[in-house]
Amino acid sequence: MHLRFLNSTKGILPKKGAVFMVGSLKAFQNKLHEKILPAEVAALFQEALKTPRLGRTPISFQTLTGLTSPHKVVMGILPEKVAKDNSPTRREWFFQQLDAIESEEHSLVVLYLDRPEHYVSVATAVARRLRLVNRRRNAKPRTIHVIALDHKGHVIEANERVRSLSEQVVWACQVVDLPPNELTPDAFADEVKDKFKGIPGCTYKEIVGSRLKTEGLLGIHAVGKGAAEPPRMVILDYKPRTAKKTVVLAGKGVTFDTGGLSLKPGASMVGMKGDMGGAAAILGAFHYLILNKCPHRVIACVGLVENAIGPHSFRNDDVIKMHSGKTVEVNNTDAEGRIVLADCLSYCARKYKPDLIINAATLTGAQMVATGLLHAGVVSNREDLEQLAKKVGLETGDMVVPLPFAPELYQNEFKSQIADMVNSVKNRSNAQPSCAAQFIYSHMDDLDIPWLHIDMAGPSNTAGGLGTGYGIQLISRLTQEYV
User: Catalytic site residues?
Assistant: 264, 338
Q: What's the rounded Cα separation, in Å, for the pair 234 and 348?
A: 11
H or E element, residue 424: none
The CA distance from 199 to 203, in Å, is 8
CA end-to-end distance (rounded Å), the chain = 37
Q: How far is CA 97 from CA 76, 100, 105, 466, in A?
A: 6, 8, 17, 17
Q: Are 185 and 231 in contact (CB under 8 A)?
A: yes
Q: Which residues contact 135 (CB under 8 A, 6 or more apart)?
A: 179
**Residue 310 main-chain phi, psi, to 5 deg:** -170, 180
Cα(60)–Cα(74) distance, integer angstroms: 7
* CB contact set of 147 (below 8 Å; sequence gap of 6+): 5, 6, 7, 8, 9, 12, 108, 109, 110, 111, 155
Q: Residue 235's beta-bridge partner residues?
A: 205, 301
Q: What is the DSSP string of 118-180?
A: GHHHHHHHHHHTS------TT----EEEEEEE-TTSPEEP--HHHHHHHHHHHHHHHHHHS-T
Task: Give how far Cα 50 sits from Cα of 27, 37, 79, 109, Å.
Answer: 13, 18, 15, 23
**Cα 51 versus chain centre, distance:** 38
**DSSP alpha helices (H): ranges in 336-431?**
337-352, 365-371, 383-396, 407-410
